[in-house]
């Protein structure tokens, strides 16, 4: 029993060959497994159950790295953006509908982020990004670094985060206009504020989304 506790505590069981008998106990180092572990020191090994003719080595690495996007999605759902919690429902169908709508909303957000890459602090050339060595640590492009350092785009307008761009778009409003000095029953008309350069460009980029 004590041996099991020690092995579980230090996670070394696979490195030893144990011989436990009623009248004694012996152990020795498993040199083969120790050598195998030593050969992998400093490396990360990715293993998948998907056949190699369906997923290449590079695709497996990229899929593993994309898990960080899933983690960011859950963070976005639960906290800063969509705030899936608290759920003010008690019936199973309504809870599932609530979660489903939040997932749809995040799908819309993802497509918006991709469409707005030219306006955000991120890389724009997706094709070049896809051709990078998946094993080498990812680095931002010179263009993305320039946007971060200067906080401006190539045309001199401010670069944005996703949230700040949404805030900029919130300046587009619908106004109900009434002639000064008119009576309460006087006809009114609605007018939308004219988008500025950044707002119009953001709206134009959204038109290019293909679902």
Phi, psi for 12 (deg, rounded to 5): -120, 5
The predicted pLDDT at position 94 comes to 83
List b or e across 19-58, with b for residues whose CB sees 16 or more CB atoms inside 10 angstroms: eeeeeeeeeeebeeeeeeeeeeeeeeeeeeeeeeeeeeee
Mean pLDDT score, 158-165: 93
Mean pLDDT score, 68-89: 69
Picking from 124, 202, 208, the residue whose alpha carbon sits closest to that of residue 166 is 202
Alpha carbon distance, N-terminus to C-terminus of the chain: 59
Mean pLDDT score, 103-119: 89
pLDDT tens sequence across 191-200: 999 999 999 9
pLDDT higher than threshold 70 for residue 84: no
pLDDT tens sequence across 41-61: 887 888 888 888 998 888 888
Mean pLDDT score, 148-168: 92
Domain ranges of the chain: 2-39, 57-168
Length of the chain in terms of residues written:
211
- Distance between alpha carbon 150 and the CA centroid of its chain, in Å? 24
């Amino acid at each position: 029993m004590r041996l099991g506790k020690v092995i579980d505590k230090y996670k070394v069981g696979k490195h030893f060959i144990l011989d436990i008998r009623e009248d004694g106990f012996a152990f020795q180092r498993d040199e083969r497994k120790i050598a195998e572990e030593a050969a992998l020191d400093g490396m990360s090994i990715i293993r998948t159950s998907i056949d190699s003719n369906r997923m290449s080595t590079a695709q497996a690495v990229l899929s593993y790295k994309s898990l960080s996007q899933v983690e960011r999605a859950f963070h976005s759902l639960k906290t800063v953006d969509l705030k899936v919690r608290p759920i003010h429902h008690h019936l199973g169908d309504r809870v599932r509908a609530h979660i489903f709508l939040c997932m749809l909303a995040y799908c819309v957000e993802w497509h918006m982020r991709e469409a707005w890459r030219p306006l955000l602090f991120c890389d724009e050339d997706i094709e070049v990004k896809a051709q990078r060595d998946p094993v080498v640590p990812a680095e931002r492009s010179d263009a993305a670094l320039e946007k971060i350092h200067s906080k401006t785009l190539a045309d001199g307008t401010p670069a944005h985060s996703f949230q700040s761009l949404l805030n900029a778009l919130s300046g587009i409003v619908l106004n109900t206009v009434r002639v000064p000095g008119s009576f309460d029953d006087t006809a009114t008309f609605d007018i939308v504020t004219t988008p500025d350069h950044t707002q119009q460009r953001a709206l134009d980029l959204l038109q290019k989304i293909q679902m």
